[in-house]
Amino acid sequence: MAVGIFDSGLGGLTVLDVAQKRLPDVDFLYFADSAHAPYGVRDADNIYDLTHNAVHDLWARGCDLVILACNTASAAALRRMQEAGVPDGKRVLGVFVPLIEALTERQWGDNSPPREVEVQHVALFATPATVSSRAFQRELAFRAIGVDVEAQACGGVVDAIEDGDMILAEALVRSHVDALKRKMPTPQAAILGCTHYPLLSETFQQALGSEVKVYSQGDLVAESLADYLIRHPNMLGKGEGGFLTTGKPSVVSDRATQFLRRKINFEAA
Ligand code: DGL
């Protein structure tokens, strides 16, 4: 039995890591489409095709439930995949909704009309494709009114992380935070809207200042998945857990081991 976790590369490990701690009895099959990362500079049709192929691969390997632990894939492909129709007994879920429910102080599945919420000035850091999709703002508008969102497309950060160049990644984060602050000098909250960014959460927090509440998706998605599996215990799937990549397994394994600080062995997808 395994739940599928998908990302373009290593970012989804930030979700997997918390999910494994929260749900120690659940097996996870992680799929990193490293050969095609980063997704954030691709167009929506291309992201859809890549995501569609990876999710179908995970379904074929016995995962009934696949989590898109990738905001870029969630923004460009989730709604389209769901509208195109999902095979019987299979599900695919994204990472936006748990985050927006936390930001807007909603319980899971609260579908009441949008209302005013505590937070009014929100900084969104995400990939160029996620920012241009405006998917975050669309999902937020279903739940909250009067929230001003300033989005910063963080070009280069995912590439640097995938290359293991954390010095460059940190420098890019600082310059993207500066650029955001020129547009919105005093955000109350900041959303790390890319699952790679929690690997740099300290850099974001330092650059933003301690008064800004930084939201990242690991805990929120893991909690929402735990809740989902209690309500749908039949979605645990078949097959075994593990780590798959379309990239070079030895290189991807080394980086993953460095990020999670435990031995991770990727195999060729
Ligand atoms: N982790 C992906 C996300 O959450 C990164 C996308 C990319 O490959 O650019 O958006």
pLDDT digits (tens, 9 = 90+) for 184-200: 999 999 999 999 999 99
Q: Which residues form the catalytic set?
A: 70, 194
| pTM, to two decimals | 0.95
32 shares its domain with 128: no
4 neighbors 58 (Cβ within 8 angstroms)? yes
131 shares its domain with 172: yes
Mean pLDDT of all residues belonging to the chain = 95
Looking at the structure of the chain, the number of domains it has is 2
Can you tell me the distance from the alpha carbon of 140 to that of 236, in angstroms, rounded to the nearest whole number? 29
78 shares its domain with 152: no
193 shares its domain with 247: no
CATH number at 46 reads: 3.40.50.1860
Q: Is residue 16 predicted with pLDDT exceeding 90?
A: yes
> Pick from 216, 233, 259: which residue ends a domain?
216
195 shares its domain with 144: yes
Q: Which one of 13, 42, 70 would you pick to mutate in the ligand 1 pocket, going by the greatest count of ligand atoms within 8 A of its CB?
A: 70
Q: Which residues line ligand 1 (CB under 6 A)?
A: 7-9, 11, 37-40, 70-72, 127, 130, 158, 194-196
Domain, as residue range, for 28: 2-96+218-268
Cα(112) to centroid of ligand 1, in Å?
Answer: 30
**Predicted pLDDT of residue 238:** 84
**Predicted pLDDT of residue 105:** 85
90 shares its domain with 139: no
Torsion of Cα atoms, 58 then 60 then 62 then 63, to 10°: 30
Question: How does residue 107 score in pLDDT terms, banded at 50, 70 and 90?
Answer: confident
pLDDT in tens, 196-241: 999 999 999 999 999 999 999 999 999 999 999 999 999 998 889 9
232 shares its domain with 179: no
Torsion of Cα atoms, 219 then 97 then 105 then 213, to 10°: 50
Q: What is the mean pLDDT of residues 81-93?
A: 95
